[in-house]
């Protein structure tokens, strides 16, 4: 596995752990305790989005969504909704969907990359 693939694997593991904690918090209606984990999840998603498009991650800068080749549908609007209301359960569901969609796109991209390489 390449270094980037290992980093993405670690990032997805980190998201999985955060997601499990968030599920418990939302189930127990502890909304005020979700913000920190949701902020972390949003950062993980942005990082994943950048990495899966071969871009460096600058957490202080915003991504230029138009330059991204592999991204979920309506990612900009969906991310804006999530970041404006991170304590809502719907935002958590939306973030989970974005992560899942991006993971599928990342796998698809890797398959296309391998298929385009000449057999040597």
Which one is the CATH code of 3-109: 3.40.190, 1.10.287, 1.20.1180, 1.20.120? 1.20.120
Give the pLDDT confidence score for residue 120 in this predicted structure.
Answer: 53
94-104 in b/e form (b: 16+ CB < 10 A) is bbbebbebbee
pLDDT of 2 > 90? The answer is no
pLDDT of 85 > 80? The answer is yes
Mean pLDDT, the chain, whole residue set: 91
pLDDT tens digits, residue range 29-82?
Answer: 999 999 999 999 999 999 999 999 988 876 666 778 888 999 999 999 999 999
pLDDT of 117 > 90? The answer is no
Give the pLDDT confidence score for residue 59 in this predicted structure.
Answer: 62
Q: Which of 25, 22, 32 minimizes the C-alpha distance to 94?
A: 22
Q: What are the sequence ranges of the domains in the chain?
A: 3-109
Cβ neighbours of residue 19 under 8 Å, at least 6 residues apart?
Answer: 41, 96, 99
pLDDT of 1 > 60? The answer is no
Given a contact cutoff of 8 angstroms between Cβ atoms, the answer to whether 42 and 57 are in contact is no
């Amino acid at each position: 596995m390449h270094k980037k693939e290992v980093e993405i694997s670690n990032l997805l593991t980190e998201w999985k752990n955060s997601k499990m904690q968030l599920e418990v918090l939302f189930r127990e209606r502890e909304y005020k305790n979700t913000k920190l984990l949701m902020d972390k999840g949003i950062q993980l998603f942005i990082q994943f989005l950048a990495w899966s498009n071969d871009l460096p991650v600058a957490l202080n800068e915003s991504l230029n969504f138009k330059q991204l080749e592999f991204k979920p549908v309506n990612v900009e609007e969906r991310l804006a909704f999530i970041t404006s209301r991170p304590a809502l359960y719907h935002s958590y569901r939306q973030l989970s969907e974005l992560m899942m969609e991006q993971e599928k796109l990342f796998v698809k991209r890797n398959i296309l990359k391998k298929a385009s390489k000449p057999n040597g």
